[in-house]
Copies of this chain bind each other. A is one copy, B any other.
Amino acid sequence: MSMDFEDRCEVHYIHEDNVKEVKTAMLEQETILSLAELFKTMGDLTRLKLIFALMKKELCVCDLAAVIGVSDSAVSHQLRVLRNQKLVKFRRQGKVMYYSLADEHVRMLFAQGLEHVCE
């Protein structure tokens, strides 16, 4: 997918020093990949609605489904994605699973994004 710069036979750029400077400052591949995964996770309408709902209140799966208007199954699938990214946490009470936001970072990210969008 991402072709390695070193392997290119014919590289042309204008400002060699700028390229070197920024290239050495570049974050580690793994770090920036994790960051991309985080944003990708938040870049879906359903998941973003789930996050917003959980910003208001701890909710169970079927309530979440009712709030955002999709099937329980779809919610469950998407909650798993959010869980994998550690954006939400959950507790079980009987047969009901209650989900809530994992931490304040998510809330901050959401707010920061909203600022950009609402200007």
Contact = CB atoms under 8 A, between A and B. Distances in A.
Interface centre among A4, A8, A41 (most CB of B within 10 A): A8
Contact of A109 (B32, B96, B113): B113
Given A56-B25, A62-B12, A35 B4 contact: no
A81 interface: no
Contacts of A67: 5, 19, 22-23, 26
Interface string A75-114: 0000000000010000000001000000101101110111
A117 B86 CA distance: 10
Nearest to A46: B2
B39 A39 contact: yes
